[in-house]
């Protein structure tokens, strides 16, 4: 035995009780926000092939799912809509009887206490699949803003607790904030997708939401993964325009950005563990290459450790069960 060693960090790792006592990062079900994909109709619960364990839900089924996860301790959901019809300007996204709006009313009736957030974007509602209006073959930033504001307002009118613009148009937080305030919804917070990278991890989601662009890609408005400092420009802009919460997306490949945003900003910070991150873990687990529970909880802990207050994740209900000791 080497008696010269004075500092022995392993002393405090020796037993489960010691390790549990000294953890600085404690993951709880309340940290999670659960994404739900809502479709028109009733009684529908269709498995999503690209996202194992996830479903296309009619509004009534979305309400049942929201109630179920709330009982598990997951206190918030994030709604995405798949409309019956699409057009060039995504007009169905603001329809009072759209799937998101209908689901909001059902969810708030079934479980009023849950925080219901809504994705605000045009990609799911446009026939070309881009997040904004197309003018002369390009996504037109300023022409898109009134449509985003109209969609956000329709969500607030239907009962949304949070609206979350994900389009990455410049000025959309200010446009949405102004529209909400003018119509008496100054109490509704905006959770901005502030730092959204044009990465390789969105494929399963785009299949699930039917939102793949019909031509080109989104690199002209989503951020370049090789750029770090631009994130702080986006942060300053969204904060100045009235964002109540900010977000980094994806989460796992950008833990450094989450930490830097946390260190620079006191606004609540969300991070989205996106479809590709989820699919990698579930596929590897299905192939017997890793333990799904251990891998999921480790990645979720790393996101919280990096500084996220809210973790948007498809693992939310299962992670909540795991944390509560259920398998």
Active site residues: 196, 249
Beta strand 133-135 with 245-249 is: unpaired
Q: Are 166 and 193 in contact (CB under 8 A)?
A: yes
Residue whose pair of structure tokens reads 């997708």 in the numeric block:
193
Distance between CA atoms of 128 and 29, rounded to whole angstroms? 37
Return the HEC string of 47-88: ECCCCCCCEEECHHHHHHHHHHHHHCCCCEEEEEECCCCCEC
Beta strand 45-47 with 55-57 is: antiparallel
Q: What is the largest CA-CA distance in the chain?
A: 76
Distance between CA atoms of 186 and 170, rounded to whole angstroms? 21
| Cα-based torsion angle of the residue sequence 144, 148, 154, 158 in order, rounded to the nearest 10 degrees | 160
- Identify the three-state secondary structure at position 129: coil
Locate 244 and state its tokens. Answer: 């109540």
Q: Are 279 and 230 in contact (CB under 8 A)?
A: no
Kindly calculate the radius of gyration of the chain based on its CA atoms and give it in whole angstroms: 20
Distance between CA atoms of 92 and 100, rounded to whole angstroms? 10
Distance between CA atoms of 314 and 324, rounded to whole angstroms? 17
Q: Are 75 and 115 in contact (CB under 8 A)?
A: yes
Q: What b/e readout covers 165-187, taking b as 16+ CB neighbours within 10 angstroms?
A: bbbbbbebbbbbbebbeeeebee
């Amino acid at each position: 035995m080497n008696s010269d060693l004075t500092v022995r960090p392993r002393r405090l790792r020796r037993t489960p009780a010691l390790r549990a006592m000294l953890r600085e990062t404690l993951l709880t079900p309340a940290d999670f926000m659960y994404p739900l994909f809502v479709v028109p109709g009733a009684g529908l619960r269709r498995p999503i092939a690209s996202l194992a364990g996830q479903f296309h839900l009619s509004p009534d089924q979305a309400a049942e799912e929201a109630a179920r996860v709330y009982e598990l301790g997951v206190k918030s959901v994030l709604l995405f809509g798949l409309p019956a019809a699409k057009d060039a300007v995504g007009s169905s996204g603001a329809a009072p009887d759209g799937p998101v709006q209908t689901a909001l009313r059902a969810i708030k009736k079934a479980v009023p206490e849950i925080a219901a957030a809504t994705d605000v974007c045009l990609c799911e509602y446009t026939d070309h699949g881009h997040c904004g209006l197309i003018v002369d073959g390009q996504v037109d930033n300023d022409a898109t803003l009134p449509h985003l504001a109209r969609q956000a307002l329709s969500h607030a009118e239907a009962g949304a607790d949070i609206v979350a613009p994900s389009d990455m148009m410049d000025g959309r937080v200010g446009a949405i904030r102004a529209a909400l305030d003018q119509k008496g919804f100054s109490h509704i917070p905006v959770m901005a997708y502030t730092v959204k990278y044009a990465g390789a991890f969105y494929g399963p989601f785009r299949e699930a939401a039917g939102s793949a662009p019909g031509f080109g890609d989104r690199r002209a408005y989503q951020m370049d993964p090789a750029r770090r400092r631009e994130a702080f420009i986006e942060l300053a802009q969204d904060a100045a325009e009235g964002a109540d919460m900010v977000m980094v997306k994806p989460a796992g490949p950008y833990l450094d950005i989450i930490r830097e945003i946390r260190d620079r900003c006191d606004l609540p910070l969300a991070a989205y563990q996106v479809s590709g991150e989820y699919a990698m873990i579930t596929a590897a687990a299905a192939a017997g290459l890793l333990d799904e529970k251990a891998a999921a909880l480790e990645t979720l802990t790393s996101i919280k450790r990096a500084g996220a207050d809210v973790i948007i994740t498809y693992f939310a209900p299962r992670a909540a069960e795991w944390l509560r000791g259920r398998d």
